Chains A and B, each alone.
Chain A
């Protein structure tokens, strides 16, 4: 599958089974430098397994994976500082304030404390959290927490960011605002991003390319999204419909998203 720049993430014929369950079946795709690719699929399609494979949390049964030139499961430590993840839930450490959470990755990368604090504050500012830097997690709203989570991922200045359903727990207005901010930041800093989602609107609004997966993480459809597509409501609606048709589900959540 073609990618924008030189591929930073590349999967070739990757297969992963859990006992007799075939989670990923000979999946191949690549993500070019600076590209944002969405993996869209229903629950159980294998999206999270793909993400775990590229993050190196699990190893494939067959096939090869390359992330920034490394095998993520075998060269786990070599990707230190080069990748970052933003999860479905904020996963903030409750004993740390917003800024302390944002600087966590930097401290793990042994960035001096003052420098880490300066960079964390700058990122909190970019995700529009000025004034909430010293609040504890329980004092932040769901949207604010997800923004801190995003700042934590971006603060380490990774070349690759993985988003795991990062906007799906938020209400539609907050999710939309956060998607817009992420898109702006990713473009400004040239981040390569692979994100999994089950929400069609997430994919259309952020991704340059959406891979629609069916059972076994088989790619059933590839949609290229451009600024022109996003600007044209009719084109967006048509793309929405094509994706929904491939997914073919009556999932109330997704239908509700589609209706918006």
Chain B
């Protein structure tokens, strides 16, 4: 062995390459870790509520047991309002998604109408949600129309811009290979564009669900006499802070449930995509 070789072999591996320098993988898979973290945060919050309730009156911070009782009362007596809110949420999110996909797709595929559509979307994103809510109250008498309108004008830009970005991010290589078979515009859409933007739809859906829930509740508070928002308004005006907490608790559960549902659909729809974990 030459001296050079011996010297090379004697050198320690660079710090970045030593196994001990790499962060260790957790014991749990990503989903399990998420669930455990959520449970831990809930326990900490309940503990904080319990401690705080010992120092302040019940109408400011009720103990968790009172909130749980109020939650049970709501679940058994006010389930129709939960259902109404859910139906409104599903209808408006589904319609916003479809309209957003159509607008985003048109922006991505038709250069002539892109500037006009983009201008409309950008202006829409600049209008505060509250303005839309107040305008909806003036413009529409039917509460369902008001809420549907409010959610649609707020949510459509998220989907449209995301789909537009998705189309712009289409790899040129894949466009070339599909075009080498001389497809029609519809075939390009079917075989290339639509499958490519599906992850963008899921990403946007996961991003807007929490926001959509907040908006539907807010819209119900302003523009309707039914649904979770209106019941929260009633609880506030009758000083039932335990019910306000209970509704909030249910909304958080609703959000987690919907996020989980969307994530499950995403896993099924995007089974072709390998899960990558960065160490």
Contact = CB atoms under 8 A, between A and B. Distances in A.
Given A80-B181, A138-B274, A93 B173 contact: no
B182 A79 contact: yes
Contact of B177 (A87, A94, A95): A87
Contacts of B221: none
Contact of A80 (B174, B178, B182): B182
B27 interface: no
A76 B196 CA distance: 25
Interface string A75-110: 011011101110101010111110000001101110
Interface residues of A, number: 27
Question: For chain B, what secondary structure do more than half of its interface residues adopt (helix, strand, loop), or is it mixed?
Answer: helix
A93 B191 contact: yes
B192 A84 contact: no
B139 interface: no
A67 to B, nearest CB: 12
A203 interface: no
Contacts of A80: 181-182
Contacts of A105: 181
Interface residues of B, number: 20
A55 interface: yes
A84 B196 CA distance: 23
B177 A136 contact: no
B272 A138 contact: yes
A33 B177 CA distance: 24
Contacts of A107: 187, 191
Interface string B165-204: 0000000011011101111000100011001101000000
Interface of B: 173-174, 176-178, 180-183, 187, 191-192, 195-196, 198, 270-274
Interface of A: 55, 57, 76-77, 79-81, 83-85, 87, 89, 91, 93-97, 104-105, 107-109, 136-138, 156
